């Protein structure tokens, strides 16, 4: 029985020490680091061509519109955006693209923007404002670029970005980064297109992922970060193992005391 306890102790010791990470591997910007196998910051490792998508506006999108002009403020009907009482949600004070693809501006009327990129829509709104405002400068932003993060990230939930070229790594960073048990080699993307849910798999262990067109998100995308098998092992197998070892050790101690 004594030999059994020694074997169990050795096994637990191996599990403990193999799971430790040296502090030298964790501290950033050390004064005298070990330079073996470290990278050269001035050395270009690889160049990857990106496939940035060009987002086109569609019905249901909500736009933030801010206009600066040399027209006196009292005559600039778009100088101050409308504010909904009791709320700070910018979507509620934005301009929604209707089913016909138009936004409705005060005084100006309808402006067709569906099917246009953000720069094209900005130019079109600017042209529509010129008969009414002197030298208008238009700032147009998409307010409804929402995406959902679930799984092994620090903060799960729905997030909003005001960028129209937002990528997977930026989404993970906005959710606080990976958890300790995130499987970087299995990140799934659910995208809703044409009444269908389409599923894509990513491996962020492979730098060629940066070159994929789906590396850039679209509104309403859902990202799922799967756990590593180690999470199941630690939360179930290792817990059961520790409990079993404790019971056996207690039983051995009790048995030894009774015999003595």
Residue 158 belongs to domain with CATH number = 3.10.560.10
- Provide the H-helix boundaries in the chain: 2-18, 118-129, 168-174, 229-232, 239-259
| 109: CATH | 3.30.1950.10
Same domain, 195 and 252: no
CB 214 within 8 A of CB 200: yes
Residue-level pLDDT at 63: 93
Say if 221 falls within a structural domain: yes
Residue-level pLDDT at 77: 72
Say if 241 falls within a structural domain: yes
Same domain, 113 and 82: yes
Residue-level pLDDT at 83: 43
CB 241 within 8 A of CB 195: no
Same domain, 236 and 194: no
Same domain, 102 and 126: yes
Of 102, 127, 142, the residue that ends a domain is: 142
**How many domains does the chain divide into?**
3
Say if 133 falls within a structural domain: yes
Residue-level pLDDT at 21: 53
CB neighbours of 62 closer than 8 A, spacing ≥ 6?
91, 94, 95, 96, 97, 142, 143, 144
Residue-level pLDDT at 218: 92
Of 90, 111, 142, the residue that ends a domain is: 142
Average pLDDT of the chain is 80
- For residues 48 and 51, give the distance between their C-alpha atoms in angstroms, rounded to a whole number: 10
- Domain range for 251 is 228-260
Question: Which residue in 196, 192, 187 sits closest to 224, CA to CA?
Answer: 187
Say if 166 falls within a structural domain: yes
- For residues 103 and 61, give the distance between their C-alpha atoms in angstroms, rounded to a whole number: 10
Taking 50 as the pLDDT cut, the residues of the chain under it are 81-86
Same domain, 163 and 138: no
Say if 180 falls within a structural domain: yes
- For residues 125 and 127, give the distance between their C-alpha atoms in angstroms, rounded to a whole number: 5
Other CB atoms within a 10 A radius of the CB of residue 57 amount to 21
Of 119, 142, 165, the residue that ends a domain is: 142
Same domain, 136 and 83: yes
Same domain, 223 and 150: yes
Other CB atoms within a 10 A radius of the CB of residue 245 amount to 15
Residue-level pLDDT at 84: 42
Residue-level pLDDT at 10: 60
Say if 164 falls within a structural domain: yes
Question: Which residue in 9, 12, 15 sits closest to 252, CA to CA?
Answer: 9
- For residues 184 and 204, give the distance between their C-alpha atoms in angstroms, rounded to a whole number: 5
Same domain, 223 and 233: no
Say if 28 falls within a structural domain: no
Same domain, 152 and 209: yes
Residue-level pLDDT at 22: 63
Same domain, 219 and 237: no
């Amino acid at each position: 029985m004594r030999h059994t306890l020694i074997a169990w102790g050795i096994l637990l010791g191996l599990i403990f020490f193999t799971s430790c990470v040296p502090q030298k591997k964790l501290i950033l910007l050390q004064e005298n680091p070990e330079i073996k196998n470290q990278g050269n910051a001035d050395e270009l490792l690889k160049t990857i061509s990106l496939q940035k998508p060009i987002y086109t506006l569609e019905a249901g999108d909500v736009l933030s519109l801010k206009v600066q002009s040399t027209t006196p403020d009292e005559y600039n009907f778009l100088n101050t955006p409308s504010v909904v009482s009791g709320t700070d949600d910018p979507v509620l004070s934005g301009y929604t693209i209707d089913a016909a693809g138009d936004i409705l501006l005060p005084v100006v009327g309808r402006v067709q923007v569906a099917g246009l990129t953000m720069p094209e829509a900005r130019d079109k709104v600017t042209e529509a404002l010129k008969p009414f405002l002197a030298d208008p400068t238009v700032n147009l932003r998409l307010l409804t670029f929402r995406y959902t993060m679930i799984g092994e990230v620090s903060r799960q939930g729905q997030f909003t970005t005001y960028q129209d070229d937002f990528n997977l790594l930026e989404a993970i960073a906005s959710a606080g980064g990976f958890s300790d048990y995130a499987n970087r080699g299995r990140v799934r993307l659910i995208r809703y297109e044409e009444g269908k849910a389409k599923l894509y798999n990513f491996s962020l262990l492979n730098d060629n992922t940066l070159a994929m067109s789906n590396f850039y998100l679209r509104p309403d995308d859902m990202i799922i970060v799967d756990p590593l098998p180690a999470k199941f092992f630690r939360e179930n197998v290792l817990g059961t193992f520790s409990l079993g070892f404790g019971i056996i050790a207690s039983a051995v101690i009790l048995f030894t005391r009774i015999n003595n």
